[in-house]
Chains A and B, each alone.
Chain A
Amino acid sequence: MTAFNGYPFSIMLALLIHGLILGSFLIMGRADSEVLEVVRPPAVKALLVEENPQARNQQVQQQRADQQRQREEQVRQESQRQEQARQEQARQEQARQEQAIQEQAARAEAAQQEQQRQAVLRQQREQQEAEQQREREITRQQEVARQQEAERQQQEAQRQEQQRQADAAAQAAAEASAREQAETESEIIMAYTAVIHDLVQRNWSRPPSARNDMTAVLRIRLVPTGDVVDVEIVRSSGDPAFDRAAETAVRAVGRFSELQGMPPRMFERSFRSLLLTFRPEDLLN
């Protein structure tokens, strides 16, 4: 009867309809999410936790022990050197005293000879004098030689001292560089273990029976090409499926090709045999 267009009413109704629908989605979403929380499958995200802790601990302890030993060695060498220096001084002192005694004895003998010669042979005076002169000459030469000897010894001592200082400096430098090298080496090892960790974790699909308290320890043996040559279960988790999954993960990787570029010494020390600990820690139950 009327050309009633009713726009306000229509708009309100349309908004109401959409509001209701969105509201029901919201409520449904809430309910759904609660249900989902409960029914969530236990194994969704694999996490490899703390792999190879024993080996790393051993390594760190080894390093520390090495450093300690080096320090002790240095202290010992230092004390030895001091001891040697002391002995050397003592020896020099003794030598000097002996020389003085010899000198006195020689001088007394010379005087005696002279008296004897004066008493017995006057005619041979000239000869004797010449002799005496010659002897004096000799003693003087000896004196000079002795002085030279002392000088030489002093120089020797100085040189030894310098040598010692140089040695100490060189040793300190070597020690510092060794420490630095050890640090970078442990960093490199950590980087490689992270790579291994990552690869194994990616290939690890956990069975639904996995539980948080399970721990499986595997020993894997590698060759320098990165190939896994042997996998053995060192400690079982008690769940065969879990153990098998862990073993399969390592075998699935097959080859850690990233290890190829590693220095052989480091490989032998840290990666020839690895302990991997598999432990799902993020599970709900």
Chain B
Amino acid sequence: MHSGSINVWSLILEATIVVQLVMLILLLASIISWVMIVQRWLVLNSAEQGMSGFEKRFWSGMDLSQLYREGSDQQKANKPTGGMENIFRAGFKEFMRLRQQGGVNSDGVMAGAQRAMRVAYSREEEKLEKHLPFLATVGSVTPYIGLFGTVIGIMNSFISLAEQSQATLQVVAPGIAEALIATAMGLFAAIPAVVAYNRYSTKVDVIAGNYITFTEEFAGILHRQVASAPATKA
């Protein structure tokens, strides 16, 4: 690197400790937020795919106990099942268990199945929303951290300016450039985080809405079965 010229690297390396610390924090925040962005992208994509695949199978007219058994086989083969399937399995399992137990009326069976599905739903939603608050935090806080670094950097450059008897642009410019790098890094970390947060929270809302819809539909199916079962039994 040339000693006489200014470039980004020399500015970063010659910055004051506080500014360097701010830059380090921002770099870490940016890296971690990108890890989250990529990971959420993978998770939400697979959740979407799993959802559409399962819906297709569910509405194909397949027997529900057959569907449940396929899921059990898949879990035994160490392949985790998707979110919607988990809700179905929780509801169906509870439904069958209550029905086999006997002595529970149809309302009680339905209430039990719905409760189990609500629990599974909230668990799935939690899985989907994991790390999104971190992205929101990065998106809102890193510009401020960058600004802090900038203010400190400009302060330092003005202090050094006060020591000079003659103010030239050369004295001020490196300090301000160095300070502005901190803001640039803050924005660099914040922008993708904000974009990803908005995009992903919409996606999570869509998927969660689908889950709720499915829960209601499945509850309807189970209700039909409950309504028909006492008739066959009696």
Contact = CB atoms under 8 A, between A and B. Distances in A.
A30 B7 contact: yes
Contact count band on A? 20 to 34
A19 to B, nearest CB: 10
Interface in A27-53: 28-30, 32-34, 36-37, 40, 44-45
B203 to A, nearest CB: 16
A33 B34 contact: no
Given A32-B7, A33-B7, A36-B5, A7 B80 contact: no
A246 B9 CA distance: 38
A71 B140 CA distance: 85
A29 B39 contact: no
Nearest to B34: A14
Interface string A109-132: 000000000000000000000000
Interface string B1-23: 11011111110000000000000
Interface string A13-26: 11101100100011
B165 A25 contact: no
A18 B31 contact: yes
Contacts of A33: 1-2, 5-7
B53 A5 contact: no
The prevalent SS among residues of B at the interface is helix
B209 to A, nearest CB: 20
A282 to B, nearest CB: 11
Contacts of A18: 27, 30-31, 34
Contacts of A36: 2, 5-6
Contact count band on B? 35 or more
A2 B42 contact: no
Contacts of A7: 35, 39
B36 interface: yes
A14 B82 contact: no
27 contacts: A1-B53, A3-B81, A4-B42, A6-B38, A7-B35, A7-B39, A9-B39, A9-B42, A10-B39, A10-B42, A13-B34, A14-B31, A14-B32, A14-B38, A18-B30, A18-B34, A25-B8, A26-B9, A28-B7, A29-B1, A32-B5, A33-B5, A33-B7, A34-B2, A36-B5, A40-B4, A202-B166
Interface of A: 1-7, 9-11, 13-15, 17-18, 21, 25-26, 28-30, 32-34, 36-37, 40, 44-45, 202
